[in-house]
Structure 1
Amino acid sequence: MTIRVAANGIEIAYESFGSPEGRPLLLIMGLGAQLIHWDEELCGLLAAQGHHVVRFDNRDTGLSTHFHDVGAPSAGAPSAYLLDDLADDAAGLMDALGWPAAHVVGASMGGMVAQALAIRHPERLLTLTSIMSTPGPSVAPPSEAAMATLMARPAGDRESVMAQSLETWSVIGSPGYELDRERVTAVAGLAFDRCFDPGGTARQLAAIMASGDRTELLAGVRAPTLVLHGEADQLVPVAGGRATAAAIPGARLVTYPGMGHDLPRPLWRDIVGEITKHTSA
């Protein structure tokens, strides 16, 4: 069941899995992605390991508040918000959940938000897990092919969105694993049905570019940190994960051959195992 709560001056939509008595685990998704992009089965695996899992829609995605009045970003105009604001949203959601602190897992842009949360609200993190992310947009630039998919003109109808999603993940997904075409198109269709807002994705991308590099600030992070990254990632190359791990004192880096900018199902149990070992330490 999706619940909407007031947090940091906006409304945030979230869903939870597992016992409220479990270890609190907050999942933060990436650019333009909705809470459904954290697969229900993956959330169930994490819940089965003793976590109380919460996945949510960032601002400008899904059923959370959208900044339609701001419009699409334009050259020379200031960004509508920064990644710091998304981090404050996450802290506000934790307030609404009654969580003084939590284990925080972020993927892609969500990893950037999780890093900003660790910098801005260090007392709120029991642990940090940064997946396929980077300390800054210039640290590990995308390949030409991945950049082309990122900047492609968004499709406008449901069928075209599903087809475009399949094209995108064919480029930036995991070359070492067979693409689950049925799942990719089904999730894209469901995301379209929940909320279709290319402008929101553009505003999030502008926030990433305007937020700069966090490398120096990450040196002050004291939350135990796990960094997971695919060695075949074209959108955020593995150099981004290595830079994240190098920037945070004591961080542990795990890389996966053949994994791109997604979470292939055959790796779920291994990834859940790494996160569980991290949150249980």
Structure 2
Amino acid sequence: MPHVTTDDGVKLYFEEVGEGTPIVFVHEYAGDWRSWEPQMRHFGRRYRCITYCARGYPPSDVPESPEAYSQDRARDDIRSVLDGLGIDAAHIVGLSMGGFATLHFGFRYPDRALSLTVAGCGYGAQADKREQFRKETEATAARIAAEGMAVVGKSYAIGPTRVQFQAKDPRGWKEFETQLCEHSTLGSANTMRGVQARRPSLYDLVDEMQALTVPTLIVNGDEDEPCLDPGNFMKRNIPSSALSVLPKTGHTMNLEEPALFNAVVEDFLHTVESGRWTLRDPRSVSGGIVTPAEEK
């Protein structure tokens, strides 16, 4: 099986297709390398597309200790994929957990990112939700360890931001649920404890956001409630960003609305590659409502 090896010796399984400018797809907590199939097929016609399984998701290695899992590890595992494949820089596209990793990758390794697509990013970020998020992640990790992913995956797949997918595309959602229930119990529990529960709040990263100049696309579903306010927050603070909101859409947006998601991301990539993606015009944040600030 093709794999790259991280700095701490973890083997990450990957697949790739196509030729040209590279795109690396980084999956969400409830997904794996298979979650990006609609994007691999679409973008693989014009790009070199790579998708991989995060640590804890077979056929990648499943480290036994929760300490082998963290936001920093998830960020650096993207770099390990690039290094292992001899890629200097790539477009990085991440969803949810993968969106957090993509954003942090842009903070730490901006020279390795041609662009950042940060989709469905924001769960548990708000100050008034931090304690609730901590309790829910701890409880979920404990339940996974006790009951196994074959059981817990079924309830996770019908969360409040997943039912939109189920309603629109029962067949696609069933495939998603089946794949989720196949995940490693140990890897899923450790990822929940080490990455999800311990990641820093987006609201504590204002300085990093304001310094980010890598072209950044933020994408949210309008029924993905936990991500809506954090998405606006990122848009306001990342000067190189744009915000796209997909209508009547939940969290699993790249599978729920693949054609729309692909079109939005493709337009973004083309704009970046044509050199037309610019920083936000400072006049748009001058404080004026109707008239320019100097006229007030």
| TM-score, normalised via structure 1 length | 0.80
State the partner residue of 1:74: none
Report the residue type matching 1:35 in the other structure. Answer: W
Candidates 131, 139, 143, aligned match of 2:119: 131
Counterpart of 1:123 in 2: which secondary structure? helix
Q: Is the 8 A contact 1:136 1:213 kept in 2?
A: no
Counterpart of 2:147 in 1: which secondary structure? coil
Per the alignment, do residues 92 and 180 of structure 1 end up closer, same or farther by CA in structure 2, a change over 3 Å counting? Answer: same
1:243 aligns with 2:240: no
The Cα of 1:109 is off from its aligned counterpart by 1.5
CA deviations over 1:199-233 (Å, ceiling 9, x no partner): 22322223325898322212111111111111111
Per the alignment, do residues 204 and 176 of structure 1 end up closer, same or farther by CA in structure 2, a change over 3 Å counting? Answer: closer
CA deviations over 1:229-267 (Å, ceiling 9, x no partner): 111113x33111111222211311111221111116563
Report the residue type matching 1:205 in the other structure. Answer: Q
Q: Is the 8 A contact 1:232 1:259 kept in 2?
A: yes
CA deviations over 1:90-113 (Å, ceiling 9, x no partner): 111101111100000111111111
Q: Which has the higher helix share?
A: 2
Candidates 159, 163, 170, aligned match of 1:181: 170
1:83 aligns with 2:71: yes
The Cα of 1:82 is off from its aligned counterpart by 3.1
State the partner residue of 1:76: none
1:51 aligns with 2:50: no
Residues 175-254 of structure 1 mapped to structure 2, 5 A cutoff: 175=164, 178-193=167-182, 195-197=184-186, 198-202=188-192, 203-209=194-200, 213-234=204-225, 236-254=226-244
Report the residue type matching 1:4 in the other structure. Answer: H
CA deviations over 1:175-194 (Å, ceiling 9, x no partner): 48824333333333334446
Counterpart of 1:27 in 2: which secondary structure? strand
The Cα of 1:158 is off from its aligned counterpart by 6.8
State the partner residue of 1:267: 257
State the partner residue of 2:289: none
Residues 45-194 of structure 1 mapped to structure 2, 5 A cutoff: 45-48=42-45, 50-68=46-64, 70-71=65-66, 80-134=68-122, 137-138=125-126, 141=129, 151-152=139-140, 153-154=143-144, 156=147, 160-161=151-152, 163-168=154-159, 171-173=160-162, 175=164, 178-193=167-182
Candidates 39, 43, 46, aligned match of 1:42: 39
The Cα of 1:130 is off from its aligned counterpart by 0.6
Report the residue type matching 1:231 in the other structure. Answer: D
Whole-Å separation in 1 of the counterparts to 2:224 and 2:77: 28
Task: Note the residue ranges of structure 2 that are not aligned, 5 or more in a row.
Answer: 272-296
Whole-Å separation in 2 of the counterparts to 1:180 and 1:24: 30
Per the alignment, do residues 249 and 22 of structure 1 end up closer, same or farther by CA in structure 2, a change over 3 Å counting? Answer: same
Q: Is the 8 A contact 2:137 2:197 kept in 1?
A: no
| TM-score, normalised via structure 2 length | 0.77
Q: Is the 8 A contact 1:140 1:240 kept in 2?
A: no
State the partner residue of 2:14: 14
Q: Is the 8 A contact 1:62 1:191 kept in 2?
A: no
With CA pairs under 8 Å and 6+ residues apart, which has the higher RCO, 1 or 2? 1
Whole-Å separation in 1 of the counterparts to 2:137 and 2:76: 29
State the partner residue of 1:75: none
Whole-Å separation in 2 of the counterparts to 1:212 and 1:255: 20
Whole-Å separation in 1 of the counterparts to 2:123 and 2:68: 21
Counterpart of 1:164 in 2: which secondary structure? helix
Task: Note the residue ranges of structure 1 that are not aligned, 5 or more in a row.
Answer: 72-78
Candidates 10, 21, 24, aligned match of 2:22: 24
Per the alignment, do residues 194 and 260 of structure 1 end up closer, same or farther by CA in structure 2, a change over 3 Å counting? Answer: closer
Q: Among all aligned residue pairs of Structure 1 and Structure 2, give the percentage whose two residues are the same amino acid.
A: 20
Q: RMSD of aligned C-alpha atoms?
A: 3.1
Q: Is the 8 A contact 2:89 2:113 kept in 1?
A: yes
